């Protein structure tokens, strides 16, 4: 007879954090969620992978009032949780566009969507929700638990009272990756030579972090090379790709005027994510400009396949080890969600 192996440790950890953060949580709803939990990391709709955010709370209206520019849309209202699976399937697809699903457990069970309708240069919903000033006020009057699907192997549960756990579905015992820290270091490098006021530079940092948080959850894998703003490809190492005749300078869209176009800014952000989704390397410089995409390099005289599958990592490391004085650093992300940012080695 074949032995069955269960993720009992993860199961118990989830039960415990619900108990600590949400004392009145319905046991039947918890069981339904636990049965649904493993589906979340591999959720697809119409062939599109979706990595959702889910909020369980007993007062979603308090959340919407607390977070600036928050918008919630109620979709279903039931007397019990019999339609839990059906409602989740109806709502999770919308998470591809920055919405979070909420389940509000009160006298009835309300299901719906919530997000912030602010600028791309301002923090997104979950980032604001767990800031100390908001978290402290909400923790005094509501129960709330966030489930964020980070990758196909990694899920983070965060409670408004301060408890947090990460569930790692991979069989590796290595320490879980610090994906947010990686993106932060990458963004710091990509804006390091922008000269502006402290406030505007913070806006630019937030904008790029929002873009790459979104990219982290949506692209199938990518390499992004940061070069110095004075970089010239004299050796032709990056010549096999699409170089923009005029670089896209997203930061200048709101540096030069208070009346920048939010629609134009978001359109360029979507364009950057699409570029990251292409095979090959996307090239940016350290003044925040987008220079090229779909760039291939010849690492050991191989074909274009060097930028696909497992070889993507070898291509990224080839850039890291290139000793090119005008290369600053390399951001790498695998199809499974592993990521790193490495500075280019000079010696």
Domain with 34, as residue range(s), is 8-168
Choose among 149, 165, 113, 164: nearest CA to 36.
149
Highest mean pLDDT among 26-30, 120-124, 174-178: 26-30
pLDDT band at 286 (very low <50, low <70, confident <90, very high): very high
Q: Is residue 69 part of a domain?
A: yes
Do residues 197 and 106 share a domain?
no
Do residues 130 and 257 share a domain?
no
Q: What is the DSSP letter of 256?
A: S
Distance CA 146, CA 100 (A): 10
Tokens of 90: 């109806």
| Predicted confidence (pLDDT) at residue 174 exceeds the cutoff of 70 | no
Q: How many domains in the chain?
A: 2
Q: Is residue 1 part of a domain?
A: no
Distance CA 298, CA 241 (A): 12
Do residues 218 and 111 share a domain?
no
Q: Is residue 106 part of a domain?
A: yes
Last residue of a domain, one of 168, 187, 212: 168
Q: Is residue 173 part of a domain?
A: no
Do residues 311 and 245 share a domain?
yes
Do residues 100 and 202 share a domain?
no
| Predicted confidence (pLDDT) at residue 309 exceeds the cutoff of 50 | no
Choose among 291, 306, 341: nearest CA to 320.
341
| Predicted confidence (pLDDT) at residue 145 exceeds the cutoff of 90 | yes
Do residues 48 and 191 share a domain?
no
Q: What is the DSSP string of 284-319?
A: EETTSEEEEEEEE--SSS--GGGGSTTHHHHHHHHH
Do residues 17 and 117 share a domain?
yes
Distance CA 277, CA 294 (A): 9
Highest mean pLDDT among 35-39, 198-202, 240-244: 240-244
Distance CA 223, CA 334 (A): 9
pLDDT confidence of residue 168 = 80
Q: What percent of the chain has pLDDT over 90?
A: 48
Distance CA 195, CA 111 (A): 45
pLDDT band at 258 (very low <50, low <70, confident <90, very high): low
pTM of the prediction?
A: 0.82
Q: Is residue 118 part of a domain?
A: yes
Do residues 52 and 103 share a domain?
yes
Q: Is residue 2 part of a domain?
A: no
Largest separation between any pair of C-alpha atoms in the chain: 71
| Predicted confidence (pLDDT) at residue 193 exceeds the cutoff of 80 | yes
Question: What average pLDDT does the segment 111-117 reach?
Answer: 95
Distance CA 279, CA 302 (A): 15
Do residues 20 and 160 share a domain?
yes
Distance CA 280, CA 223 (A): 7
Last residue of a domain, one of 141, 168, 195: 168
Q: Is residue 78 part of a domain?
A: yes
């Amino acid at each position: 007879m074949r032995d069955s192996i269960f993720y009992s440790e993860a199961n118990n950890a989830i039960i415990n954090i619900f108990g600590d953060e949400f004392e009145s949580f319905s046991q039947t709803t918890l069981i339904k969620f636990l049965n649904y939990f493993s589906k979340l990391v591999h959720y697809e709709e119409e062939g599109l992978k979706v990595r959702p955010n889910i909020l369980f709370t007993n007062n979603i209206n308090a959340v919407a009032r607390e977070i600036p520019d928050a918008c919630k849309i109620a979709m279903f209202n039931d007397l019990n949780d019999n339609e839990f699976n059906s409602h989740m399937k109806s709502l999770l697809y919308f998470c591809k566009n920055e919405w979070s699903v909420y389940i509000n457990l009160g006298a009835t069970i309300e299901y719906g969507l919530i997000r912030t309708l602010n600028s791309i240069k301002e923090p997104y919903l979950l980032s604001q929700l767990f800031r100390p000033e908001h978290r402290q006020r909400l923790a005094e009057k509501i129960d709330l638990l966030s489930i964020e699907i980070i990758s196909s192997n990694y899920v983070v549960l965060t409670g408004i009272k301060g408890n947090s756990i990460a569930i790692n579905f991979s069989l590796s015992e290595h320490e879980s990756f610090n994906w947010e820290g990686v993106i932060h270091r990458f963004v710091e490098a990509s804006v390091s030579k922008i000269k502006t006021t402290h406030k505007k530079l913070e806006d630019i940092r937030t904008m790029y972090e929002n873009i790459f948080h979104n990219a982290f959850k949506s692209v199938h894998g990518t390499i992004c090379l940061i070069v110095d703003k004075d970089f010239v490809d004299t050796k032709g190492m990056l010549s096999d790709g699409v170089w923009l005749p005029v670089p896209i300078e997203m930061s200048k869209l709101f540096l030069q005027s208070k009346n920048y176009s939010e629609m134009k800014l978001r359109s360029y952000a979507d364009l950057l994510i699409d570029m990251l989704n292409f095979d090959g390397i996307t090239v940016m410089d350290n003044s925040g400009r987008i220079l090229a995409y779909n760039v291939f390099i010849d690492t050991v005289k191989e074909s274009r396949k060097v930028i696909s599958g497992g070889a993507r990592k070898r291509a990224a490391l080839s850039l890291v080890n290139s000793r090119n004085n005008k290369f600053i650093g390399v951001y790498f992300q695998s199809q499974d969600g592993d990521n790193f940012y490495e500075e280019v080695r000079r010696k």
